[in-house]
Chain A
Amino acid sequence: AQTVTQSQPEMSVQEAETVTLSCTYDTSESNYYLFWYKQPPSRQMILVIRQEAYKQQNATENRFSVNFQKAAKSFSLKISDSQLGDTAMYFCALVDGAGSYQLTFGKGTKLSVIP
């Protein structure tokens, strides 16, 4: 069975600072995909960034980047130059590449950006 663990239930960061959200996972598959989703207050969840396990290069999307450590099964999200609009729940998720339909989600990290 796959598991995704987010060990930080809540975090806060000052506006314009950098923050890193942690995620560890476990899977027996060799090929899989990892995701960070963002759920702003009272708004729909959206994909922030994705990483394919067979790609060594860490994914980057504007101010969002990941630190993917495959051997350690770690997938952290770094948010640079934090903005008030980054305030949200962040979920780490995993799907194996063998045709599974089901994403496995972590329990989420509530991030507050403080002005």
Chain B
Amino acid sequence: DVKVTQSSRYLVKRTGEKVFLECVQDMDHENMFWYRQDPGLGLRLIYFSYDVKMKEKGDIPEGYSVSREKKERFSLILESASTNQTSMYLCASSLRLRMTNTGELFFGEGSRLTVL
């Protein structure tokens, strides 16, 4: 079974702190994603990566950066956390999407971040 592991289930940080959210997948997937989940807003894509050292902005990249130095690991970085970044963060991975690919995402359990 595919396993996507997020390093922290719950974090509490203070405004202005630098925050690292780590995600590791064990199925050699090319694609990795970071989503933000807020009530009433669904899932919004922050960044995704389709290969090592490659990244693409999603719908809401402002205030975030990412790092993918190894294929299995995708990190989300909040350079200076703000209260409006309090949210649930979901990491996901998938095989490379192609016409014949089903595009199924495999999710981690999520990291609930509270910024005070």
Contact = CB atoms under 8 A, between A and B. Distances in A.
A77 B99 CA distance: 24
Contact of B102 (A50, A98, A107): A50
What's the dominant secondary structure at chain A's contact region? loop
B108 A101 contact: no
Contacts of B109: 42-44
Contacts of A101: 31, 48, 50, 56, 97
A47 B97 contact: no
A68 interface: no
16 contacts: A35-B103, A44-B107, A45-B92, A45-B105, A52-B102, A95-B103, A99-B97, A100-B97, A101-B31, A101-B48, A101-B50, A101-B56, A101-B97, A106-B42, A107-B40, A108-B42
Given A101-B31, A101-B50, 6 more contacts: A44-B4, A44-B109, A45-B105, A47-B105, A91-B42, A101-B56
